[in-house]
Structure 1
Amino acid sequence: MNNIQVDVETGKTPTQVRRTRSPQGGVRMGDDLIVETRSLTKEFKGFVAVSDVNLKVRRHTIHALIGPNGAGKTTCFNLVTKFLTPTRGQILFNGNDITHTQPAAIARQGMVRSFQISAVFGHLTVLENVRVALQRKQGKSFQFWRSGECLNELNARAEELIEAVGVAEYRDTPAGELSYGRKRALEIATTLALDPEMLLLDEPMAGMGTEDVRRTAELIRRVAANRTILMVEHNLSVVADLSDTITVLKLGRVLAEGSYAEITDNPEVVEAYMGAGHGGAGHG
């Protein structure tokens, strides 16, 4: 298990701080839901991949969706992010029914799926990639003929974002030359340029080495300081360190939910993982 940092002011872990402190310093309501699903179900030609899932994601928390292979977590994630349409059920974002709303419209409302919506252009530099994302936010996408002076107005914010994700030293490096982990960090920067209220991360650590995993986990922790994150992640050490709440799926249904300590103390969860092989928190 990785070491968990403690906030020097409060003596609490980052997840504990997020539960009790708002970005403005006030006290948050722990039951303030940003996303809720009601009896969410997805069938594929008679096969039920997700069945009656009731998911509740609290504002300003990191909520992980895990499960053994074939659990339905990827399908559930695709339903919440609107890349799949549910067979039955309802999806709410900030109390509004988004069950039949398109992904682009959801992004404009503040719920953004990173690594999917964010575009990284390999021939553009790190700074240029983030600047293009900022243009998109302003409704000026792909206006490459605009004067350099006009585009440079976006530089200050772009540089803030690349500094925030730890790639400032690669400011003038083409994105295609970045390591895999730093490219993912750049993708988070382009997503943050859209100023989302909620980030949805689909296996953010997939394919990373140990150092990139550590760096990306720290980045997610920083990003979550004033946002909500829902993520599918197979690295259980990362899940343990980052998550406030974990939902475990098995065969398309919710098997358990709670803190990492609570779910790992659940015999059904242990059996589900051991039965699938302990590495079974991968795709599904």
Structure 2
Amino acid sequence: MISHLMLNDITVHFGSTKVLNRIKLQLPSNGILALVGPNGAGKSTLLDVLSGFINTSGGCINSRQLTTALTKKELQSFFVRLHQRLVIPHDLTVYEFLHIAKQPKKATSPLQLSNRIVCTEKKIKEFVPEWLISLLLSANLQNSFDKKIGELSYGQKRIVAIGAVLLSSKSGILLDEPMAGLSSATRKVALEVIKKHGAKRLILITEHDLDTVKKMADELIVLVGGQIAGKYSGNSLAQINLLGHFLDSNTK
């Protein structure tokens, strides 16, 4: 089993622009690791690398169990990702989408279902865990399993997407701006649910709301200009001065 991933000098160029510059980082097997930094710092690009979406220009990702660098396919089997820009099929019902997220091997193409997945009260009780019920309830979705995703509000779609990612059995979870578009009440519930999952699995999260980050993160990495500008954990999270990092980046 792949675990304890190590990023060794990860570098990414987009044309002549160096977006990530020799990132060195050891990822824990569980816990919540937050990535923060100004726009253009390379946060989403780092998630792109970890999810096997893009190739690196240099460096590699290793596991403690393997001597060779992990392939894009191996990274994709390890991580499931919530993108900042939601990409979910609007023609599926909430129940169908969540069902496929939990049991992808039993589904045909999510976009070409020849047989609809029937939602019944009995199936919901068997399939939906309590944490997902509370998440859906926070967005007024507790009785919306048979609704098509295209009929939902943006915040409701994001909650369904978060639920789908957390239902996955993969070891690592990548959350890119998960709280965007959520009400304060829904944010609070989503934060609590994500924290519970972080106790058992590795979660990497990018988030602009620093108060939210401090409440949920076990460790925080500051990215500035494609490089690691600071690392914080434990009691030091409450004392972090991100403004200082950001101001320094603007004066370089």
Q: TM-score, normalised to structure 1's length?
A: 0.71
Equivalent residue number for residue 22 of structure 2? 52
Aligned to 2:198, the other structure's residue is in SS state helix
Within 5 A, what are the aligned runs for 1:19-168? 34-93=4-63, 95-96=65-66, 97=68, 99-102=70-73, 105-107=74-76, 109-115=77-83, 120-138=88-106, 140-142=108-110, 144-146=113-115, 157-160=126-129, 162-163=132-133, 165-166=135-136, 167-168=141-142
- SS where residue 150 of structure 2 aligns? helix
Q: 2:191 matched to 1:220?
A: no
Deviations 1:233-259 (A, max 9, x none): 111011100000001111111111122
Gap regions ≥5 residues in structure 2: none
- Alignment RMSD: 3.4
Give 3-state SS (helix, strand or coil) of 2:222's partner.
strand
Paired amino acid for 2:60: Q
Query: Equivalents in 2 of 1:233, 1:116: separation in Å?
Result: 10
Distance 1:249 1:54, change over 3 A: same
Corresponding position of 1:26? none
Helix, strand or coil at the partner of 1:219: helix
Give aligned-pair identity as a percent. 26
Q: Size of the alignment, in residue pairs?
A: 242
Residue 189 and residue 148 in structure 1: after superposition, are their counterparts in 2 closer, same or farther (change >3 A)?
Answer: closer
Name the SS of the counterpart of 1:226 in structure 2.
coil
Match of 1:237 in 2: 211
Question: How far apart in 1 are the matches of 2:49 and 2:235?
Answer: 27
* Contact 2:6–2:24 under 8 Å retained in 1: yes
Q: Does the 8 Å CA contact 1:137/1:194 hold for their aligned counterparts? A: no
The amino acid of 1:210's aligned partner reads S
Q: 1:234 to 1:196 in 2, by over 3 A?
A: same
Q: Provide TM-score, normalisation by structure 2.
A: 0.79
After superposition, the C-alpha distances for 1:133-172 in whole angstroms (9 at most, x for unaligned) are 34523354457445868x9997555433742633433223
**d(CA) in 2 for partners of 1:47 and 1:145?**
45
8 Å Cα contact 2:44-2:206 kept in structure 1: yes
Counterpart residue number, 1:255: 229
Farther off after superposition, 153-162 or 186-195: 153-162
Corresponding position of 2:244: 271
Amino acid at match of 2:160: L
Contact 1:119 1:190 in 2 (8 A): no
Q: Identify if the C-alpha distance between structure 1 residues 168 and 207 changes in structure 2 by more than 3 Å, giving closer, same or farther.
A: closer
Equivalent position SS for 1:181: helix
Q: Does structure 2 conserve the Cα–Cα contact (< 8 Å) formed by 1:85 and 1:100? A: no
Contact kept in structure 1, 2:92 and 2:149, CA below 8 Å: yes
Could you say if the C-alpha distance between residues 147 and 47 of structure 1 is closer, same or farther in structure 2, counting changes exceeding 3 Å?
A: closer
Pairing 1:175–2:149 present: yes
Give the deviation of 1:99 after TM superposition: 4.4
Give the alignment of 1:177-192 within 5 angstroms: 177-192=151-166
Code of the residue aligned with 1:271 in structure 2: it is: G
1:12 is aligned to none
Is the CA contact 1:110–1:195 (under 8 Å) kept in the aligned structure 2?
no
The Cα of 1:276 is off from its aligned counterpart by 6.6
Offset, 1:62: 0.1
